[in-house]
């Protein structure tokens, strides 16, 4: 859209370059100010570390969801607004199973089946933390992925398959419809109440060896579970896409669907794999967010969706490493910005950054790195 500007003009600076320069200068000033704050002791190192750590935790669950969104965006070629509600689906289905198993014999079936919709089955009394009910929570994690995959495949068959050739905007609009229907079907069963479903996390002291490296004395085991599960999944997806034929087919398809068809790539099977990987990761992300935050609500994924989009767009659509890098930028932005601005403005900082980067580099920071 900016073809009217640029090369060969008298002025060498395009508006993009001006915005990009200002953006870099702004980031430079903030980094210098950060150094000044730390040196003068206005910002204790411990607080800076806790912001950074929270940023990494946030970026990991945003990243899990962003991989799926980026994959569907590049292979099915539409902005999937129902992706956030796949995150919600994973959260509700996974925790329901965790309660069914973990609360066996402790709480009555109806409170466990409906995730405390009637207020029964206190998380503390059921023992909903990773030390008291490790098996229940692990099974819940697996089930959250499986149920979300099944739901996504059913939606694809019912809705998106009929619209394969419809173009980006009709698919986007249909995905808004899917998002609404899915979210409020969940609300029909589980009610719209926000509730606590996870007990307070165990916080054991870290071994002295680790304490000397990072400025943390205790570790929140739920956050640690989130970080380890997310990293394991990300590495798994990396290996899968880098070293199998599936990854190659996906790269081919996101590059040119017709050419991929001619070459004999089974495009429907690639789309199937895309949904399995993308929605599975989204479901796990939802499950882990609840493990970290402790509370569950039907708007969980919907409120997260714009941040996920911001991460995908920052990284450049079509590149899962871009999506991960974008998630890191977004996660660090919403936490490190707390050094300068109040907490209720941090998402504004993330969205502003997204918009500025879009002007500066309309194809995202990592466009050109086509890695499926």
Partner 1 sequence: MSDASETIDELRAKVTDNDLPQWATDLLLIAAFVAATFAGFAIVGLLTGVGLNETVGFMRLVTFFAAVYALVVLALNLHWGYTGLFNIGVAGFMAVGVYTMAILTASPDGSPAGLGLPIPIGVIGGMLASGLVGLVVSLPALRVRADYFAIVTLGFSEIIRLALLSGSLRSVEVGGTEYGTGGGSGISYTPVDSVIPWLLDVPGIGFVGDQFFAIGEMAGIQSSIIQSGLYTGVLIAFVVLFYLFLTRIAYSPFGRVLKAIREDELAARSLGKNTDRMKITVFVVGCMLMGLAGILWMGSQSRVNPDSFMPIVTFYIFVALIVGGSGSNTGSIVGAFAFAAFLWQGPRFIRSIVRANVDVRSPQTVYDAFLELASGDPLPMLGYVIGTLDELRFVLVGVVLIVLMIWKPDGLLGHRKELAAATDISRRPTATDGGETDE
- Shortest CB 355 distance to partner 1, Å: 6
Which one of the spans 63-71, 99-107, 160-168, 252-260 is the region binding partner 1 (CB under 8 A)?
160-168
Among 45, 189, 232, 259, which residue interacts with partner 1 (rule: CB under 8 A)? Answer: 189
Which of 155, 148, 168, 98 lies closest to 126 in space, CA to CA? 98
- Comparing CB distances to partner 1, the nearer of 204 and 362 is 362
> What is the bridge-based pairing of β-strands 195-196 and 295-296?
antiparallel
Among 145, 179, 284, 304, which residue interacts with partner 1 (rule: CB under 8 A)? Answer: 179
Q: Does 187 bind partner 1 (CB under 8 A)?
A: yes
Could you give the 3-state DSSP secondary structure of residue 77?
Answer: coil
Q: Does 124 bind partner 1 (CB under 8 A)?
A: no
Provide the token pair at 167.
């173009």
Of residues 69 through 98, those in contact with partner 1 by CB under 8 A are: 78-79
- Comparing CB distances to partner 1, the nearer of 80 and 225 is 80
Q: Output DSSP code: residue 12.
A: -
Q: Does 113 bind partner 1 (CB under 8 A)?
A: yes
Among 43, 347, 367, 370, which residue interacts with partner 1 (rule: CB under 8 A)? Answer: 347
Integer distance in angstroms from the first to the last C-alpha of the chain? 25
Per-residue H/E/C for 157-222:
HHCHHHHCCCCHHHHHHHHHHHHHHHHHHHHHHHCCCCEECCCCCCCCECCHHHHCCCCCCECCHH
Among 21, 26, 28, 170, which residue interacts with partner 1 (rule: CB under 8 A)? Answer: 170
b/e burial code for range 43-61 (CB count within 10 A of at least 16 → b): beeeebeebebbbbbbbbb
Q: Does 165 bind partner 1 (CB under 8 A)?
A: no
Q: Does 180 bind partner 1 (CB under 8 A)?
A: yes
Which one of the spans 92-100, 110-118, 137-145, 270-278 is the region binding partner 1 (CB under 8 A)?
110-118
Contacts of 340 (CB under 8 A, 6+ apart): 30, 33
Which value, to the nearest 10 degrees, does the dihedral of the CA atoms of residues 199, 201, 204, 206 take?
170
Of residues 295 through 314, those in contact with partner 1 by CB under 8 A are: 306, 309-310, 313
Residues that bind partner 1 (CB under 8 A): 1-2, 4, 78-79, 109-110, 113-114, 117-118, 159, 162-163, 166, 168-174, 176-185, 187-189, 191-192, 306, 309-310, 313, 341-342, 344-345, 347-348, 351-352, 354-356, 358-359, 362
């Amino acid at each position: 859209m900016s073809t009217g500007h640029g090369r060969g003009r008298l002025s060498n600076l395009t508006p993009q370059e001006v915005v990009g320069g200002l953006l870099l200068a702004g980031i430079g000033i903030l980094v210098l100010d950060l150094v000044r704050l730390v040196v003068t002791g206005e910002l204790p190192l411990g607080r800076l570390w806790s912001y950074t750590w929270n940023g990494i935790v946030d970026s990991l669950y945003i990243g899990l969801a962003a991989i799926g969104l980026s994959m569907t965006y590049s292979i099915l070629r539409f902005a999937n607004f129902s992706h956030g509600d796949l995150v919600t689906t994973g959260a509700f289905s996974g925790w329901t199973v965790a309660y069914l198993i973990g609360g066996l014999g402790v709480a009555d079936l109806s409170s466990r089946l409906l995730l405390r919709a009637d207020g029964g089955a206190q998380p503390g009394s059921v023992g909903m933390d990773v030390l008291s009910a490790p098996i229940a929570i692990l099974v819940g994690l697996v089930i959250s992925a499986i149920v979300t995959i099944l739901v996504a495949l059913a939606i694809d068959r019912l809705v998106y398959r009929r619209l394969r050739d419809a173009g980006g905007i009709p698919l986007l609009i249909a995905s808004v419809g899917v998002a609404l229907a899915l979210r409020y079907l969940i609300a029909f069963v589980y009610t719209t109440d926000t509730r606590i479903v996870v007990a307070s996390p165990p916080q054991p002291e870290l071994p002295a060896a680790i304490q000397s490296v990072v400025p943390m004395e205790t570790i929140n085991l739920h956050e640690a579970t989130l970080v380890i599960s997310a990293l394991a999944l990300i590495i798994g997806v990396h290996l899968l896409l880098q070293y199998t034929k599936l990854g190659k087919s996906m790269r081919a398809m996101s590059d040119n669907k017709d050419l991929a068809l001619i070459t004999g790539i089974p495009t429907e099977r690639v789309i199937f794999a895309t949904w399995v990987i993308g929605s599975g990761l989204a479901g796990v992300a939802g499950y882990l967010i609840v493990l970290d935050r402790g509370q569950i609500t039907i708007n969980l994924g919907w409120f997260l969706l714009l941040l996920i989009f911001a991460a995908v767009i920052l990284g450049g659509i079509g590149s899962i490493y871009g999506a991960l890098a974008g998630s890191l930028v977004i996660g660090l932005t919403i936490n490190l910005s707390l050094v300068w601005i109040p907490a209720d403005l941090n998402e504004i900082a993330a969205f502003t950054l997204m918009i500025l980067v879009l002007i500066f580099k309309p194809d995202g920071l990592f466009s050109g790195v086509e890695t499926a």
